[in-house]
Each structure stands twice: as C-alpha cells, then as structure tokens.
Amino acid sequence: MKSVGIIGLGIIGGSLALSLKEKGYSIVGMNRSKEPLEKALSLKIIDEVAPLESPPEVDVIFVCTVVSVVPYFIRLVLEKTKNTLVTDVASTKGFILKELKDLPKEKLTRFIGGHPMAGSEKTGIDYAKKDLFLNATYFLTPTEYTSEETVITVKRIVELLGANPVFISPEDHDRLVAYISHLPQIISTCLSVVARDRVDGDIVYSGRGYKDMTRLAHSSFSVWRDILYTNRHNIVEAIEVYRKFLGDVETYIENWDEKRLEDIFRLASS
C-alpha cells in the first residue's frame, strides 16, 4: 500500500490526510501535541502514529508546521530515512533553502518545496476538509538538486488531491505570494484595526463588504509570525508599492480626478 507521513496535523495536514486516505494511502501522523493525534486516530483520519524524532520509511512525508521549524523537520527526514521523499507546505521558500544549504546534495535530491494556495483563517484539525485542495493552485519549487523521481512522485500526489501543480522558482514564489497572499493579509488586518478604532461599537452595522474584506483578519498571529519574518523583504516591498498607489488614489479623490478613478475601477474589475 502507498504510504504518506504528515508532520503537523492542523488544517492543512489534516486535510492532506483526509484526501489521501480516501485515495487509498496509508497515513502516518506525527505531531508535537497529543490531542490532534488522538483525535485523528479516533476519527480514522490517520492509520498510525510515529514519534516526531523517528520519521518512518514511507513514500513521502509532508511537513505541515509553522515555517520556522520546517527546515529542522526536512533535515530530520533526510538524515533519518534512506529513501523517503520530503516536501513542505510552507508559505515562504527562500528561508527554508538557506537553512538547508549545508546538507549533502545527494540528500537534497529527495526534497521538493510545496505550497498549496488553500487554507482558511481558521486553524486546527477540526477544520480539516478532504476537498480543501480541490482546484487550488499548488506551487512546487524544485531546486537544482531535486531528482526527477521526486518531482514526478510529488506532482502525482498533488494531482490526486485535485489541485493544479504549478512549477516556480523559490525566489519567484516568495515575491509572488508577497503580493497575492501576504499583502492581502496585512491589508485585512490593518483595515479591521483602523475601522474598530474609528467607529468602535458601530462596527456591528457593517455589511458583507466589510466582512469579506476583514475575514483574513481573524487569522492567527502564531501562523503569520513566521511568514512575515521569513518573507519580510518582499512583503515590505509590496507594502511600499501599495502605499504609493493608495496615496495616488487619495490624491485623485481629494482633487476629484474622476477619469483616473474610473480607469482604476475599470482596471480592477477587468
């Protein structure tokens, strides 16, 4: 039977387990705290448990932890197993590669970075869904050392999840997600703080537009801390670009430049 290990049974790890188990994979779960493991076993989301420090010999291990400890677990898998492939689901890639640069190149043949553009502002295995990755973009970031076997195997699993694999360099990935994932989180969070500060209790009268815009503001800082830190240079660049454009829009409204404002709305909705 095909087998997969999952380190970190949160919403992403739990959803991977649910989806791949349905596809016939045997799932080995690993997690620092016991509660998610016990819940996953009782709900038959996983088939067995392995110690974090002793990763099993399976086809592939997915590292689904916060970014800061991803390199540690990738290194652990590559050093403790002989043939197991390893991938991750982290939202930043450059930091991980930097932390792994001292590994022997022959070990890095078994590693490929991954990042599904799926998830939720919610966290924890309670929110796992077997169709979380359906039709989602799933970035794969092979390095010059990644073997063809690793690429083919992980790509096949991504397709089994119902996701769309997209190959991209780690550098291009980090710059892209700064604009399409990390900046939206910052904007949503800041809007929520500013609105609450200015209108206080009257926020209860907000409509769907405000709720849609601030959904991401409910995200956990424990997840976003590492993302913001490890991709901060790209995120700061994105904020600077956005701030300049917002300043231009402010000027157009203040001076009532209807033509420019209409052009912006037309461009945004196209």
- Provide the pLDDT for residue 168: 98
**For the chain, which ranges sit under pLDDT 50?**
none
d(CA 147, CA 255): 58
- Provide the pLDDT for residue 116: 97
Q: 144: number of CA atoms within 13 Å, CB side?
A: 3
Are 143 and 108 in contact by the 8 Å Cβ rule? The answer is yes
Radius of gyration of the chain, Cα coordinates, nearest whole angstrom: 21
- Provide the pLDDT for residue 246: 98
Side chain identity at residue 218, one-letter code = H
- Superfamily of domain 3-168 in CATH is NAD(P)-binding Rossmann-like Domain (3.40.50.720)
Question: Which residue has tokens 């002793």?
Answer: 54
- Provide the pLDDT for residue 70: 98
**Quick one: CATH architecture of 173-269?**
Orthogonal Bundle (1.10)
Sheet with 60-63: list strands edge to edge: 48-49, 26-30, 3-7, 60-63, 85-88, 111-116, 137-141, 164-167
Tokens matching residue 244: 């300049």
Among candidate residues 52, 49, 88, 51, the one with its CA nearest the CA of residue 68: 88
- Provide the pLDDT for residue 128: 87
- Give me the residue spans of the domains in the chain: 3-168, 173-269
Quote the strand ranges of 142-263, DSSP E.
164-167
Tokens matching residue 106: 């022959």
Q: For the chain, give the longest Cα–Cα distance.
A: 68
- Provide the pLDDT for residue 66: 94
- Provide the pLDDT for residue 125: 85
Are 96 and 113 in contact by the 8 Å Cβ rule? The answer is yes
